[in-house]
A and B are shown apart, each in its own frame.
Chain A
Amino acid sequence: MVNKNLKLMQGNEACVEGALAAGMKFFAGYPITPSTEIAEISAQRLPRVGGKFIQMEDEIAGMAATIGGSLAGLKSMTATSGPGFSLKQENIGYAMLTEIPCVVVDVQRGGPSTGLPTAPSQSDVMQAKWGTHGDHPVIALSPSSIRETYDLTIQAFNLAEKYRTPVFLMLDEVIGHMREKIEIPDPSDIEIFNRITPDESEKSDYKAYDNSLEVPKMAAFGEGFKFHVTGLMHDEFGFPKNDPTVTEILMSRIMGKIENNLEDILLYDEYYTEDMDLLILSYGGTFRSVMSAVREAQRSGKKVGVFKAKTLWPFPEKRVKELSKKVDNIIVAEMNLGQYYYEVDRIARNNCEVSLLGKANGEPITPTEVLKKIKEVL
């Protein structure tokens, strides 16, 4: 007990503390419930560590400034909730094509539209995947506890820096506003990844989008590389090109840098999957009710396994397919009317039945509801 750094913390607070541990030095955003504490705590904490916080005039500007901060060399984050996430999408696409690392936190709330500002939901799962136009890779993580929020925020920064891409941290209001006692890890135990930067010798011929590398090296503005960045399709130096060959090379590299590194990116936990008749798949806050119900079911002799996705995107396709061969049924439990469900169904439908336990009335899924669903299926 003596040496442990224990703290009672809210999910949104753990997100900021994790971000600071990962090296966040810049935050730009716009207030929106239920993500607001992330901005508030960032405003309080950043200047104390020599970082910068700015409240922009709108969500669009919050995303733009976050990208600008990263281009100027600082690890940058923004946070928002459903409607704000919608507004940010165009600039998120910009960051994907221009390969600017940053973390975008979405504390999901009920929708569509202004919806349910203070109620939990997991209904931005597909928005994370397809919110912006065009083909693009997505990395989205979702924590189901306060300590996991801390850890996955660090992971989000590491992945953003490693793969030069925006990374989404998908909280839900259950996790964002819940308080738990957590142990803050010692900084020396935390693994941090910083973007690979070009060296002096590359100054005269710097390729900001060098296609011979899976992830090109990234210089910051002001370091003497004088490169060009555009949201148009571009050549290796970053200049606009609408040549189909150039576009194809760029697009396949951008997709490939994620698709070829799934083992590094995919995170999930499994419980009781060695010997099971039924699998429940869930993520985020919903996992907690699922786990509670499954323990109860286990006590009455039912063999129920649990798959918890921590990496929502890319989809943990290989593992879900393997597990789907072991059972007759998979239940997908999520606080929406079937967003992740369709992805699971697509992967597993030839091997087993897939059913949805979905809820979108602004209330979390309860253990009782999960138990009822288990009884229906088993």
Chain B
Amino acid sequence: MAVASKLLENNFRMNRLPHIWCPGCGHGIIMRGIAEAIENLGYDKQKVCIISGIGCSSRAPGYMDFNTLHTTHGRALAFATGVKLANPDLKVIVVSGDGDATAIGGNHLIHAARRNIDITTIVFNNNIYGMTGGQYSPTTPHNDLGTTAPYGNVDNVFDICRLAEGAGATYVARGTVYHAKQLEKNIESALENKGFSLVEGVSICPTYYGRKNRKGDAAEMMINLKETTLDKKVAAKLPAEKKEGKLIIGEFVNKAQPEFCEEYHKIVDKFTKGD
């Protein structure tokens, strides 16, 4: 417990806790993972900036003791782009939900990835709009129920990691709140990547998604996460039929490519240095 209290003291606004998330919500595990990763990497906390949009996940910055910005719905990455370009010394982290990042904020997500701007995005994916009471999101499974999908969801699902990879992200990984330690390692690697990185943290919402879709209580949903996921390395050795219906977790992209702010600064340097 000593370690946990030190983590709290160093990274959280103690007077802002307890958080407002429902009992059994997975989001606290991802938030802890972010704090652990920052702690492990020894970043100067004055230089860390955490930015969110709107939704359950997006309340995290208020609890975390850094430069924090709670923006408009879906726009966290656009705000973050301004902050990062204006001051590239800042370590900019965006926390976002599945709806915030891929529905209303989908355009900003693909373009931040395309630019390869040095921002780490952590998507708290609980497959539902929690804060507004359980409406379906772009990651709610086909046929599942939501308050706005009372007869089953007709939409198809975004694979957030493939979306980010396709748009040009230079680090992409997926973890779950069941595999907390591995998720934390993924966040650490994402923070160390020079460029746009995205970690999808698969979370659970027992209050809305779980209850509505008869997925059981929080503990059952956690066990379900364990049973329905496969590590990428394990999956690589399995035949196709054993992978069916399984969610693959692990690191999908980790590559070095020119970063936006550095490229822009080359232009600035041309005019402001050496004459």
Q: Does B165 contact A (CB under 8 A)?
A: no
Q: Does A69 contact B (CB under 8 A)?
A: yes
Contact digits for A40-65, partner B, Cβ 8 Å, 1 yes 0 no: 00000001111110101110110011
In chain B, positions 68-116 with a C-beta closer than 8 Å to chain A are 68-72, 75, 78-87, 89-90, 107-108, 111
Q: Does A313 contact B (CB under 8 A)?
A: no
Q: Does A193 contact B (CB under 8 A)?
A: no
Query: Nearest A residue to B68 by beta-carbon distance?
Result: A228
In chain B, positions 2-51 with a C-beta closer than 8 Å to chain A are 16, 45-47, 49
Cβ contact within 8 Å between A220 and B87 = yes
Instruction: Count A-B contacts at CB 8 Å.
Output: 142
Interface size (B, Cβ < 8 Å)?
Answer: 37
Q: Does B267 contact A (CB under 8 A)?
A: yes
Chain A residues, CB < 8 A from B49? 221-222
Query: Nearest A residue to B104 by beta-carbon distance?
Result: A60
Cβ contact within 8 Å between A221 and B87 = yes
Cβ contact within 8 Å between A229 and B78 = no
| Residue from A25, A48, A52, A222 in contact with B67 in the complex, judged by beta carbons closer than 8 Å | A222
Cβ contact within 8 Å between B72 and A64 = yes
| Residue from A50, A51, A72 in contact with B83 in the complex, judged by beta carbons closer than 8 Å | A72
Cβ contact within 8 Å between B83 and A71 = yes
Query: Nearest A residue to B87 by beta-carbon distance?
Result: A72
Q: Does A227 contact B (CB under 8 A)?
A: yes
Query: Nearest A residue to B89 by beta-carbon distance?
Result: A222
Instruction: Tell me, in angstroms, the Cα distance from A57 to B84 when the chains sit together.
Output: 16
Cβ contact within 8 Å between A222 and B81 = no
- Mostly helix, strand, loop or mixed at chain B's interface? helix
Cβ contact within 8 Å between A231 and B86 = no
Chain A residues, CB < 8 A from B90? 72, 221-222
In chain A, positions 212-264 with a C-beta closer than 8 Å to chain B are 220-232, 239-240
Given A65-B82, A68-B80, the answer on whether A52 and B264 have CB atoms closer than 8 Å is yes
Cβ contact within 8 Å between B69 and A65 = no
Which size class do A's interface residues fall under? 35 or more
Instruction: Tell me, in angstroms, the Cα distance from A229 to B111 when the chains sit together.
Output: 24
Chain A residues, CB < 8 A from B271? 47-50
State how many angstroms separate the Cβ of B76 from the closest Cβ of chain A.
Answer: 8
Given A222-B46, A226-B45, the answer on whether A64 and B78 have CB atoms closer than 8 Å is yes
Using a CB–CB cutoff of 8 Å, the interface residues on chain A facing chain B are: 25-26, 28, 47-52, 54, 56-58, 60-61, 64-74, 76, 90-91, 94, 220-232, 239-240
With contacts A72-B87, A74-B86 known, what are 18 further pairs, Cβ within 8 A? A26-B86, A28-B85, A52-B268, A60-B75, A64-B72, A65-B85, A68-B80, A68-B82, A68-B83, A71-B86, A72-B84, A222-B49, A222-B67, A223-B46, A226-B45, A228-B69, A229-B68, A229-B70
Closest 9 CB pairs of A and B: A68-B82, A65-B82, A64-B78, A72-B86, A61-B78, A230-B70, A57-B111, A221-B67, A68-B83
What are 26 A-B pairs with beta-carbon distances under 8 A? Answer: A26-B82, A28-B85, A47-B267, A47-B271, A47-B272, A49-B272, A52-B85, A61-B78, A61-B81, A61-B111, A65-B78, A68-B80, A68-B86, A72-B84, A72-B90, A74-B87, A91-B72, A94-B71, A221-B49, A221-B67, A221-B69, A221-B83, A225-B67, A226-B45, A226-B66, A228-B69
